Structure 1
Amino acid sequence: MNEILKKAKEIHGQIVEDRRALHQIPELGMYLPETAAYIKDRLDEMEIQWKTIGGQLPEKMTRDFMEAGFPKMEKAEGIVAQIGSGSPCILLRADMDALPIKEKNNLKFCSGSEWGHMCGHDSHAAMLLGAARILKDMEGELKGTVKLLFQPGEETGAGARLMVENGLLKEKKPDAAFAMHVQPIENSGDAGYVMGVCSASLDTFILKITGKGGHSSQPQLCVDPLMIMNQVYQAVNLLLTRETDPAAMATLTCGVAQGGTAVNIIPDTAELHIGIRTLDVEASEHLRKRVPEIIDFYVKAWRGDYELTTFHTPCTYTDEKLCRELVPYIQEIAGTDKLKQIPPMTGTEDFGYITQEVPGMFLFLGAGKPGNAPLHNAHMVLDEEVFSEGAAIYANVAVSWLRGNK
């Protein structure tokens, strides 16, 4: 058995304990005080140096996230730890925020909160804490530096961006980065990766239209925001059929379309939320430009006013050379027959903000079986037996890559 995997299995109980503790304190967004306090305490116990990273959010960003349905967030705080010294340097990242989903399981460690870790981020943080323990015990053998990032705000699509903007890559810039995500609907221990574009970009447009309300018998005296909303809805959907390459994976969903109170009243306002995902960077850039143009044209054509809030999360791009380097190190833990290349994920992952700056690899780790409840579901559960394997993958990737690139 691989020595690092052996070490991980020896501390399996602690990894599970960490995951269950984090599972019971789910927090949303950029500032996760209870979660961060737990991780800091565990790092202190292991005598691993750490510091916080982040800072105050601009007022507009706070307002924009509230428009998108997040709680009021005035600051962002992640945790960066360091083990080893010198060059080269590899970054291991785990996200740690939860979702606004109340868990519907009978697990003895459910939180009871209206929020829940139904995306597995608690397991990512616990596995990285397990890897930290292994790496600290092996610190004298490391041929460089390992940076550990416990990241908030992944579900906002901007947590990694704020970490980068606040200096994650400036002090001791990593030469490579690695992250992973558990998959409850894949067999435990199976692992998959993508070379190239790994996850879809996500562009969100929150449109608030202001018209002039009145009686439905006198439409000439009104500016109907519902009619404007309908025009915009149809126009943006046509973008994908007439201005997007059919070969590009691109989807558009208007998940919110609302306004009005009665059949005989033209309301003052209406609201439309548009989300676009694509695996094609060129398509993303084009649509990001065209949607606001179409909104502006149609709203003004019908004499309305509007406010538009936008969010962008890029595709995560995984570096082919780095993937080829790391595959053997992952296979040493998972097994040669368990690691496969898979199609890109049509979901979104903000690790892309890091892979824009540093060669990176993203791994999907099976932690369940087909037929299980998927991610972002109130009944989602994970197989805890795979957590020591995940910790070993984190650690083995770091140790082996440093050795190979000294």
Structure 2
Amino acid sequence: MPSISELISTHRPDLASYEELYKWFHANPELSFQEQITAAAIVQHLETFKVYEICAPIGGHGVAAVLKNGPGKTLLLRADIDALPVTERTGLSYASTKKTKDLEGVEKGVMHACGHDMHITALLGAAETLANAQDAWSGTLILVFQPAEERAGGAQAMVDDGLYDKVPVPDVVVGAHVMPERAGVIGTKRGLIASSADSFQLKITGRQAHASTPHRGIDPIVQAASTVTRLQTIVAREVDPLDFAVVTVSAFHAGDAENIIPEEAHLKLNIRTAHPETREHVLKSVRVIIDAEAAASSNPHTPELTQTTRFPFLFNDDDVTCVLERSFSEYFQPGKNSYQPDIARLQGSEDFGILATAVGKPSCFFLYGGVDPEVYDRAEREGKMKELPGNHSPFFAPVVQPTLRCGVDGYVVAGLTFLGK
């Protein structure tokens, strides 16, 4: 039987057309829960293979495709498809110029600032490769193109909409994410691979007054400013330095006129942790500080803290990851610039794991790099690694190759690992 390397070399299509497809997805991003055109393009491409049973839409604009190829295990490969409310500043010839209204009705620039366009294209390339290589594997392959990952809602929406009534329940679930690592790097990690994330909107109501008579009002800006400062002490003074937690205030809106103390201040918070007990402690401390600052401001109005998104912890199953470690080591070869069996954890969060935990199945999430090797190496030599654009930056744009090939091959190696004859 041919090796995985030989199978991929023989059956992987010419990726030139996929490079152009990637650029199209990059130039035509859509926000979470609005991915109608993206989903239609995915379906149209899958239909050209003539071997996949396509189920769409699921959970909004989700797409699933099934290829039954004899007896064996059932494997689910997942890519997410939504973009972000970010105005692109990469200067690329295929940069997004799209604008749309977000869920709050505010017009925003839209960009694939997290690399989901690369995820879509890589999984489509893997879909064609595995369709071409049907003689080499046996079992059932499921492809899931998931919407609304950025809003922590897409995976659950697909499950709630009967994903596993429409497609078989998988034995193993595998996903992937492009990162600001050197292109050509690909990696796995046992255990925790992505932190939890809890996002909130905070409304602080005070009492409006003229700027010349602050004693007649209750200043929500001063209260909010004290709250922001005090929240930073949670990680600095309440979390073990050997642990991990981040408390971020990412938006602060209050007031209109320079001579008016406003009635309200509106903030947005994001909290990330690596352990359930730390999550519980940090969230409790956030609430305590918010209420205590209201009391310190003699404000009778209780601040309103409303949760907007909630990402679960994401753990890679040891057994599944161990199997992939062997295959990835053989195909990509271990090394600083290739396969890393203990790659740095994803610093963001993911709802991917819900596709597995919803049916009690194991999963693994692998990561791969997207930074031009020359750019990455120069930044490393000059001590400027912090200047490399990361996910969610308006400058984030993976170099097309070798990123795309690495993403395609990662999915295909996983497919042949669990379904190969």
**TM-score, normalized by length of structure 1?**
0.85
Aligned to 1:307: 304
Q: SS of the counterpart of 1:10?
A: coil
Offset of residue 53 of structure 1: 4.6
Question: Residue 374 of structure 1: which of 368, 390, 400 is its match?
Answer: 390
- 1:392 is the counterpart of 2:409: yes
Offset of residue 317 of structure 1: 1.0
Deviations 1:86-139 (A, max 9, x none): 552111011112222333345443333232223221111111111111222233
8 Å contact from structure 2 (residues 205, 303) kept in 1: yes
Offset of residue 266 of structure 1: 2.4
Offset of residue 50 of structure 1: 1.1
Superposition pairs of residues 75-154 of structure 1, within 5 angstroms: 76-84=60-68, 87-113=72-98, 114-139=109-134, 141-154=136-149
Q: SS of the counterpart of 2:61?
A: strand
Aligned to 1:188: 183
- Residues 166, 247 of structure 1: alpha-carbon distance in 2 compared, 3 angstrom cutoff: farther
8 Å contact from structure 1 (residues 190, 339) kept in 2: yes
Of stretches 31-40 and 13-22 in structure 1, the one that deviates more from structure 2 is 13-22
- 1:172 is the counterpart of 2:159: no
Offset of residue 250 of structure 1: 0.9
- Residues 164, 348 of structure 1: alpha-carbon distance in 2 compared, 3 angstrom cutoff: same
Offset of residue 212 of structure 1: 1.9
Offset of residue 148 of structure 1: 0.5
Q: Structure 2: how far apart are the matches of 1:237 and 1:213?
A: 27
Counterpart residue identity of residue 306, structure 2:
T
Unaligned 5+ residue runs, structure 1? 56-75
Aligned to 1:316: 314
Superposition pairs of residues 271-310 of structure 1, within 5 angstroms: 271-296=266-291, 298-299=293-294, 302-310=299-307
8 Å contact from structure 1 (residues 223, 303) kept in 2: no
Offset of residue 230 of structure 1: 3.4
8 Å contact from structure 1 (residues 88, 145) kept in 2: yes
Q: Structure 1: how far apart are the matches of 2:88 and 2:259?
A: 41
Q: Structure 1: how far apart are the matches of 2:406 and 2:216?
A: 67
Aligned to 1:197: 192
Counterpart residue identity of residue 374, structure 1:
G
Q: Structure 2: how far apart are the matches of 1:356 and 1:164?
A: 10
Question: Residue 53 of structure 2: which of 49, 52, 57 is its match?
Answer: 49
Counterpart residue identity of residue 83, structure 1:
L
- Residues 140, 382 of structure 1: alpha-carbon distance in 2 compared, 3 angstrom cutoff: same
- Residues 381, 219 of structure 1: alpha-carbon distance in 2 compared, 3 angstrom cutoff: closer
Aligned to 2:20: 17
Aligned to 1:267: 262
Counterpart residue identity of residue 401, structure 1:
F
- Residues 249, 335 of structure 1: alpha-carbon distance in 2 compared, 3 angstrom cutoff: same
Q: Structure 1: how far apart are the matches of 2:164 and 2:285?
A: 32
Q: SS of the counterpart of 1:272?
A: strand
Unaligned 5+ residue runs, structure 2? 99-108, 380-387
Offset of residue 314 of structure 1: 1.9
- 1:326 is the counterpart of 2:324: yes
Counterpart residue identity of residue 379, structure 1:
F
- 1:209 is the counterpart of 2:199: no
- Residues 106, 275 of structure 1: alpha-carbon distance in 2 compared, 3 angstrom cutoff: closer
- Residues 118, 258 of structure 1: alpha-carbon distance in 2 compared, 3 angstrom cutoff: closer
Q: Structure 2: how far apart are the matches of 1:14 and 1:189?
A: 20
Q: Structure 1: how far apart are the matches of 2:160 and 2:288?
A: 28
Q: SS of the counterpart of 1:342?
A: coil
CA RMSD of aligned residues (A): 2.6
Deviations 1:137-193 (A, max 9, x none): 23354332111111112222332232233333555222211111223x433222122
Identity percentage of aligned residues: 31
- Residues 275, 373 of structure 1: alpha-carbon distance in 2 compared, 3 angstrom cutoff: closer
- 1:240 is the counterpart of 2:257: no
8 Å contact from structure 2 (residues 73, 418) kept in 1: no
Q: Structure 1: how far apart are the matches of 2:230 and 2:393?
A: 32
8 Å contact from structure 2 (residues 228, 249) kept in 1: yes
Q: Structure 1: how far apart are the matches of 2:227 and 2:334?
A: 51
Q: Structure 2: how far apart are the matches of 1:130 and 1:266?
A: 57
Deviations 1:58-78 (A, max 9, x none): xxxxxxxxxxxxxxxxxx221
Offset of residue 219 of structure 1: 4.4
Deviations 1:220-253 (A, max 9, x none): 5433322432343344333334443332111212
Counterpart residue identity of residue 52, structure 1:
A
Aligned residues: 383
Offset of residue 32 of structure 1: 0.7
Counterpart residue identity of residue 130, structure 1:
G
8 Å contact from structure 1 (residues 83, 135) kept in 2: no
Counterpart residue identity of residue 94, structure 1:
A
